[in-house]
């Protein structure tokens, strides 16, 4: 099956700093990538959708200036949490959807756990 | 996208079949039924999807009723590693569509 990776898997940062999370599709070209957030004991919440070369579309209530998304190539998307605060601590998960046989199915990365102190 | 209803939790003995139901009574004709699972502290894993016909792959079988208002995911021989939260999601076709996760069913496989 299609493989999506994320880096880093764990990150701890101080309040006020920015953190960048990478999401890569390893064996297919991802025309669309999605970013989700999951708080403890809750389900995944979609944050934004990005298409390669276009600006991301954010879900209602998600601050686009705080969560910067770049999808510059067909295999890489990044999420930058700017000026992170403790309430941003969460499990961030990306997923990717491609073309051809992978067009309709979203494949998920392993997630990045962010802890803001 | 149509909403889905799943039981909050289920238990299954190891080696037995696990049958996970999902109700999607408002599904429309161009919406697929997708199943994912999330093992603790990992990203969701794709299991299977279908439109009208029953589907089977190396992981599971998906049985969709004739009226498409409900479906059942079947894990034929559950193992302890199948303990996870299972999500049934109805999604439109097309590149603009997205997956919306509900609360899923927590499946506990026991010895």
Residue among A29, A96, A105, A115 with most chain B CBs within 10 A, to mutate: A105
DSSP secondary structure letter of residue A101: G
As a residue count, chain B comes to: 111
Q: How far apart are the first and last CA of chain B?
A: 38
pLDDT (0 to 100) of residue A1? 67
For A77, the token pair is 């998307």
**Measured between CB atoms, does A98 come within 8 Å of chain B?**
no
pLDDT (0 to 100) of residue A68? 96
b/e per residue, A9-29, with b = 16+ CB within 10 A?
Answer: eebebeeeeebebbbbbeebe
With a cut of 70, say whether residue B111 has pLDDT above it. Answer: yes
Residues of A in contact with B102 (CB under 8 A): 43
State the nearest Cα–Cα gap between A94 and chain B, in angstroms: 8
pLDDT (0 to 100) of residue A99? 66
Which residue positions in chain A have pLDDT lower than 50?
Answer: none
């Amino acid at each position: 099956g299609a493989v999506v990776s994320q880096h880093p898997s764990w990150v701890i940062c101080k309040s006020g700093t920015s953190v960048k999370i990478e999401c890569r599709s390893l064996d297919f070209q991802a025309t669309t990538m999605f970013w989700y957030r999951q708080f403890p004991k809750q389900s995944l919440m979609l944050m934004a959708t990005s298409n390669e070369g276009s600006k991301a579309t954010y879900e209602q209530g998600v601050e686009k200036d705080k969560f910067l998304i770049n999808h510059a190539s067909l295999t890489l998307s990044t999420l930058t949490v700017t000026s992170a605060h403790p309430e941003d601590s969460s499990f961030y998960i990306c997923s990717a959807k491609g073309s051809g046989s992978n067009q309709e199915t979203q494949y998920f990365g392993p997630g990045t756990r962010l802890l803001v102190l | 996208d149509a909403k889905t209803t799943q039981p909050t939790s289920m238990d299954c003995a190891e080696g037995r079949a696990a049958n996970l139901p999902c109700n999607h009574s408002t599904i429309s004709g161009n919406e697929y039924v997708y199943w994912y699972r999330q093992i603790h502290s990992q990203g969701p894993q794709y299991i299977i999807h279908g439109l009208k016909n029953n589907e089977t792959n190396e992981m599971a079988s998906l049985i969709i009723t004739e009226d498409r208002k409900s479906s059942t995911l079947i894990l034929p021989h559950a193992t302890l590693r199948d303990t996870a939260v299972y999500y049934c999601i109805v999604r439109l076709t097309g590149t603009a569509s997205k997956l919306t996760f509900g609360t899923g069913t927590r499946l506990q496989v026991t010895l």
